[in-house]
Structure 1
Amino acid sequence: MTLRDYIESLRHKTVAIIGIGVSNTPLLELLLAEGIRVTACDKRSREQMGEQAEHLEQLGCELHLGADYLKDLDADVIFRTPGLRPDVPEIAACVDRGAVLTSEMEVFFEVCPCTIIAVTGSDGKTTTTTIIAELLKAAGKRVWVGGNIGHPLLCEADGMLATDYAVLELSSFQLMTMKHSPHIAVVTNLAPNHLDVHRDMAEYVAAKENIFRHQSGEDVAVFNADNAVTAEQSRRAPGRARLFSRQDEVADGVFLRGEDIVCRSGGHERVIMTAGDIKIPGVHNVENYMAAIAAVDGLVPDEVIRDFAREFGGVEHRIELVRTYRGVRYYNDSIASSPSRTIAGLRSFHEKVILIAGGYDKHIPFDVLGPEIVE
């Protein structure tokens, strides 16, 4: 199915788009331009939306705004914003009446003509996604980056070629209702996170598992062998399961032997580079590279990987050196919004660290973080 086919399938249906944010706005404008009947629902007031509300109404959109934005929700097809649970009563009632619940990302999987590589996990998603995308570009591939980073890709699907690569970072919120999986899936690790939205850890893990649950036998899934949850998940992969590990050698995947990063496939192994070749600090970034290498093995030459690792300075907000002032180095690691991420950041430094931390409660246990800070 192409994007054009999908739009035509909506021609005589009513569509509701919940959440007028970054991922849904391009879709909303596309459907309105095609003459599709669309109702846009957003909990922001008209005043909070400002000129955007007037702009959408001029395009022919019906708006449901404010605290009661889901009241009287009724449509044949409902696009859910990632941050909204799919089982809120108003949506559940529509689904019971026969509505199709989907999302911008789910439809992208249906219409994308090229190979999709997707990354999820509790930590390291953005860095690993970026490494994969940049390695493919360095190898001369045409690459589209989207999901949690980049920009929404659905509206660009008709411009993609079968020889291209779409590299996506996917959150648990996006994955909750996914019925499609990528050709190559990567799960960096899993630790308690977003328990202010998910009912419990089991639901969080189940959502993440959708990244490989619907794969075919010809697809590939990459898992962290050093993480108990992801190591167990690897046994349920429908296709080829590859592992990466800093602690042990693996039969199929990437591992650390001394300082050497080794890739093993089909009984053959080769040294890709050393951990010292990686410019960005931290053992967690060694893991990010191992995950990326397992994903692009066979697509990117080893020397391209090695040269890239020596030059790549990392992604902003991740152990990012802000400045040095009076002999003190100040780092921005604001992405570390969970204990596991904070611990990984702290372990990147050999000197004593002054930690400045704060944020809102995501209902995550802090038991493991306390001793690490004291140490």
Structure 2
Amino acid sequence: MNKDHFFQYLSGKTVTFCGIGRSHMPLMELFQKKGALVSARDKRSFEELGENGEKLKALGIKLILGEGYLDHLEENLIFRTPGMRYTLPELAEARKRGSAVTSEMEVFFELCPCKIYGVTGSDGKTTTTTIIAEFLKAQGKQVHLGGNIGKPLLPEIESIQETDCAVVELSSFQLISMRESPNVAVVTNLTPNHLDMHKDMQEYIDAKKNIFLHQNAFSRTVLNADNAITADFAPETRGDTWLFSRRENLRRGVWCDGEKIYVNGEEALAVRDIKLPGWHIVEDYMAAIGAVWGEVSPENIRKVAAEFGGVEHRTELVREFEGVKYYNDSIASSPTRTISGTLSLFDKKIILICGGYDKQIPYDPLGPVICDRVKTLVVMGSTGPKIEEAVRNAPGYQEGSPKILRVKNMEEAVDAARSEAQAGDVVSLSPASAAFDLYPNFEVRGRHFKELVNELR
């Protein structure tokens, strides 16, 4: 189905959106303009919806709210929010009654007329996605960047041309029900994550595999050869398969010897020429280069590497105050991300603010790294006790090294870090946990941290 036929189909159809958030808000207004009879469903009350509720009420969109918001799902077309399990009994019953149950990203893949680059993984998704977009822009392409990175793309579908490029970050929640794959699929790495939402690790892995399982022989798949799970995906791919590695010299793919990045044996980029620090950033560049090699010139790749300053909330320097540098790494919502990010960057022990919502993932690997690279650990949130236990049980732990401080919220965490810090120190928020215990998402958490740091006097 093309986009014109789809919007013709919508006219007069009943459409409901389960979950009122950033991916659904612009869609509801668009679908209403196209003649659909739109309703919105959410477990929250009207008061809890705030500005979104007021806007939908002003548009005349029917609101179905509260505990029974999924009752009587009888609309022609049902959109689920990515965080909603597609196997919910209410959705299964709706399918039996003949309703079409889908998502914003599934429909976008169905209708998108241009080449799609998709990126998934446990860590590094957003930076890799953004680097790919920057590469393509440098080559003169019209780029549409969105997906899990924070911007829905379906509302833009009417303006997307065949000669454009769509670069999409994809979460396991988006991928789990998808039956189409992007033209170029990148898997940065896979480690235990989101086990509070997936029934087990295998379901999480299987969801991620949908990024390449539905590709054809003309597609490209880029996999991390240094990650055991993603390396094992290679025999299942259908198209042109590229690997990237910091451990082995690859005949076909992207390899880094510690100083330079090579593509199929050809020198592409010197590590020292990448503006952003950290080996996790080097790996993000390797994945992105594998995605665009042959379409973006080496000159434009080097230009982006030298100029790209990074993405907000990713080891972002907030401020230097009283000789102390404060970094915001709120995106680090898993232990592996904190280990490969903040804890790999500095040549001295730092003050680390850690903890948040519990996604039921193991924290044992974090303990030894904190013991080695942190002088003061400030823990908070549901995972605070788990992180402290991992540190105390680590082989290298000695009482007071690191010093461990327990706090209740971000205000107390920033105050504690400031009290501990001396000129020359580094303080970093790198929670190794999701934000949902105290914040709606990692962006709100990161911005609150930045506000508090910028208010220090």
TM-score after normalising by structure 1? 0.95
User: Paired residue for 2:302?
Assistant: 306
Which residue number in structure 2 is paired with residue 371 of structure 1? 368
**Which amino acid in the other structure matches residue 305 of structure 2?**
A
Q: Which residue of 1 aligns with 2:352?
A: 355
Partner of 2:271: 275
Q: Percent identity among equivalent residues?
A: 57
Separation of aligned partners in 1, 2:255 and 2:178: 30
In the alignment, the residues of structure 2 paired with residue 332 and residue 52 of structure 1 have an alpha-carbon distance, to the nearest angstrom, of 28
What residue in structure 1 maps to residue 312 of structure 2?
316
Task: State the Cα deviation string for residues 237-291 of structure 1 (Å, max 9, x = none).
Answer: 1111110001111232100134110001xxxx31011111111111011000000
Does 34-43 or 102-111 show the bigger shift?
34-43
Secondary structure of the equivalent of 1:306?
helix
- Alpha-carbon offset, residue 39 of structure 1: 2.2
User: Rg larger in 1 or in 2?
Assistant: 2
Structure 2 distance, partners of 1:172, 1:6, is 26
- Alpha-carbon distance in 2 for matches of 1:188, 1:135: 17
- In structure 2, what is the Cα distance between the partners aligned to 1:270 and 1:176? 37
1:19-30 → structure 2 map (5 Å cutoff) = 19-30=19-30
8 Å CA contact 2:10–2:35 kept in 1: the answer is: no
Whether the aligned pair in 2 keeps the contact of 1:119 and 1:168 (CA below 8 Å) is yes
Structure 1 residue 359: Cα displacement? 0.6
- Structure-1 separation of matches of 2:190 and 2:249: 20
C-alpha distance 370-52 of structure 1, shift in aligned 2 (>3 A): closer
Q: 1:327 to 1:56 in 2, by over 3 A?
A: closer
Where do 5+ consecutive residues of structure 2 fail to align?
373-457
Structure 1 residues not aligned, in runs of 5+: none
1:293 aligned onto 2:289: yes
Could you tell me which residue of structure 1 aligns to residue 330 of structure 2? Answer: 334
Residues 88-97 or 361-370, more deviating? 88-97
How many matched pairs? 371
Instruction: Please tell me whether the aligned partners of residues 254 and 261 of structure 1 are also in contact (alpha carbons under 8 angstroms).
Output: yes
SS of the equivalent of 1:107 reads helix
**Other structure's SS at 2:145 match:** strand
Q: How far did residue 81 of structure 1 move?
A: 0.4
Q: Distance in 1 between matches of 2:325 and 2:159?
A: 45
Q: Is the 8 A contact 2:144 2:167 kept in 1?
A: yes
TM-score (norm 2): 0.79
In the alignment, the residues of structure 2 paired with residue 5 and residue 291 of structure 1 have an alpha-carbon distance, to the nearest angstrom, of 36
**Which of 299-308 and 11-20 deviates more?**
11-20
Post-superposition offset of 1:165: 0.3
Change (3 A) 1:143 1:347: same
Q: Kindly tell me: are residues 94 and 254 of structure 1, through their superposed partners in 2, closer, same or farther at Cα, counting changes over 3 Å?
A: same
Alpha-carbon shift at residue 312 of structure 1 (Å): 1.4
Deviation larger for 9-18 or 216-225? 9-18
Alpha carbons 1:123, 1:341 under 8 Å: kept: yes
Corresponding residue number in structure 2 for 1:251: 251
- Structure-2 separation of matches of 1:205 and 1:281: 29
- 2: CA distance, partners of 1:322 / 1:36: 45
Please give the root-mean-square deviation of Cα atoms over the aligned residues, in Å.
1.4
**Contact (CA 8 Å) 1:221, 1:237: kept in 2 or not?**
yes
Task: Give the Cα separation in 1 of the matches to 2:183 and 2:199.
Answer: 29
* Distance in 2, Cα, partners of 1:270 & 1:228: 26
Cα distance in 1 for residues equivalent to 2:259 and 2:96: 56
